[in-house]
Amino acid sequence: MKVYLDNGATTMVDKDVVKTMIPYFTQEYGNASSLHYLGISAQKVLTDARKRFSEYINAFPEEIIFTSGGTESDNIAILGVVKYFRLQGESKIHIITSNIEHPAVLNTCKALEDEGVEVTYLGVDSDGMISLKELEAAIKPYTKLITIMHANNEIGTLQPIKEIGEIAKKNKILFHTDAVQSFTKIKIDVKELNIDLISFSAHKIHGPKGVGALFVRKGTSVKQLTYGGSHEYKKRPGTENVSGIIGFVKAMELSRQEDIDKMVMLRDRLIDGLLKIPHSNLNGHKTQRLCNNANIGFAFVEGEGILMHLSDRGICVSTGSACSSKSLEPSHVLKAIGLRHEVIHGAIRFTLSRYTTKKDIDYTIKHVSKIIKKLRKFSTLKEGVKYDTVEYEDHHEHEIYQE
């Protein structure tokens, strides 16, 4: 049986999305800048896609910049704002972000710090929430940008972006949010939320990889980073990926409220089932969380071990975020919510999609329970750590660490 529960990393492209894209490879393959009929037709399609995208988030078409994905959108937003203010002659620039951002934001901010930009990394509480009071207190006279993600990719916690938007507006600071994980799962109205810049990616919503978008509110101070033709309102030059953009917009339009309701129901079934395993806990906020995310910590076992055993049984999950799962560095997000090392190493992220079924969930619960039991039985205890024995549900004796 194949069970894909790694939709936070990427998703299967919807068959209707593929169908929609195909003509743009072999028939309607014109360059949208060309003057002949194939070019005009590509331009029309692009204009229509931009309009549909903008309407979905209550923006204007000219506020949508299509990019190669979430990473590029985050970079254009953050670096573009800093570049603008530098060119204005500002000697001091300050950015506020959080310490649980995706590397696309975190590493961009770190690179800017090396160049002399001041960055405040707000901490989060044990649920992964920033504090609005701390945010307000961090504002300096030369703060130019607040960049705080909408939904965390590892633990699924949702930040209060409406309130953050209000604080930013009140203080005349630009507000960027990374909505790569929340897009189509939570309604986004850029006007209502006072957002100036927002990043999106197609491959998290059953669209193709390598396509994304950035909303840039009209008049927002963003300087282009790369140079070429005048595509994408001069904010992102390069021949437009028409087929990819069409696929992205189609994927967006295929999302349905009933799918979200189903994901919530199955996510909760998964959480309830997995929390029956002794010494397990839910990471992230209990209610303010993504409809498809269940991040569960299993104490006294290595997440990599669980992942490999699950993979052998056809189940795909991830440890921490996909980007960091190839390194054994503990997840910066799980560290930020205050988890101890040994708990962090036993965390597994399960992310559902509209294709996830009840059968998938029950199969996963069954196998995770078996695997944890097996791994704990053979788990080697770390030197210098005292341990005790406890009885598990099945009266099987295991050794566990003691505080």
Q: Please report, as ranges, the residues that interact with ligand PLP according to CB under 6 A.
A: 69-71, 102, 104, 149, 153, 178, 180-181, 201, 203, 212
In angstroms, give the least distance from the CB of 44 to ligand PLP: 26
Q: Give 248 or 300: the residue with its C-beta nearer to ligand PLP.
A: 248
Residues 6+ apart with CB under 8 A from 16: 250, 254
Residue 264: HSE in the Cβ half-sphere, 13 Å Cα cutoff = 14
Q: Angle between the 70-87 and 103-114 helix axes, to the nearest 10 degrees? A: 30
> What residues does 147 pair with on adjacent strands?
176
Q: Name which of 142, 155, 141 is nearest 99 in CA terms.
A: 155
Residues 6+ apart with CB under 8 A from 174: 81, 144, 145, 146, 168, 196, 197, 220, 221
In angstroms, give the least distance from the CB of 118 to ligand PLP: 23
In angstroms, give the least distance from the CB of 104 to ligand PLP: 4
Q: Name which of 95, 165, 162, 100 is nearest 129 in CA terms.
A: 100
Backbone angles phi, psi at 258, to 5 degrees: -65, -30
In angstroms, give the least distance from the CB of 158 to ligand PLP: 12
CA–CA separation, 143 and 305 (whole Å): 44
CA–CA separation, 96 and 98 (whole Å): 7
Q: Give 33 or 226: the residue with its C-beta nearer to ligand PLP.
A: 226
Structure tokens that stand for 120 in this block: 């405040």
In angstroms, give the least distance from the CB of 257 to ligand PLP: 22
The DSSP element (H or E) to which 349 belongs, if any, is strand 347-351
291 given a catalytic annotation: no
In angstroms, give the least distance from the CB of 181 to ligand PLP: 5
Tell me how far the alpha carbon of residue 81 is from its chain's centroid. 21
Q: Give 41 or 147: the residue with its C-beta nearer to ligand PLP.
A: 147
Q: Give 179 or 242: the residue with its C-beta nearer to ligand PLP.
A: 179
Structure tokens that stand for 322 in this block: 């996909």
Q: 360-392 burial, b if ≥16 CB within 10 A, otherwise e?
A: bbebbbebbbebbbebbeebeeeeeeeeeeeeb
Q: Give 20 or 98: the residue with its C-beta nearer to ligand PLP.
A: 98
In angstroms, give the least distance from the CB of 385 to ligand PLP: 34
Task: Check 109, 291, 316, 323 and give the catalytic one.
Answer: 323
CA–CA separation, 69 and 296 (whole Å): 28
Q: Give 207 or 346: the residue with its C-beta nearer to ligand PLP.
A: 207
* Tokens 């993504």, located at residue: 290
Closest chain position to ligand PLP (CB): 70
Q: Give 102 or 185: the residue with its C-beta nearer to ligand PLP.
A: 102
In angstroms, give the least distance from the CB of 177 to ligand PLP: 10
Q: Angle between the 242-254 and 37-56 helix axes, to the nearest 10 degrees? A: 30
Q: Give 120 or 325: the residue with its C-beta nearer to ligand PLP.
A: 325
CA–CA separation, 104 and 123 (whole Å): 18
Active site (catalytic) residues: 323
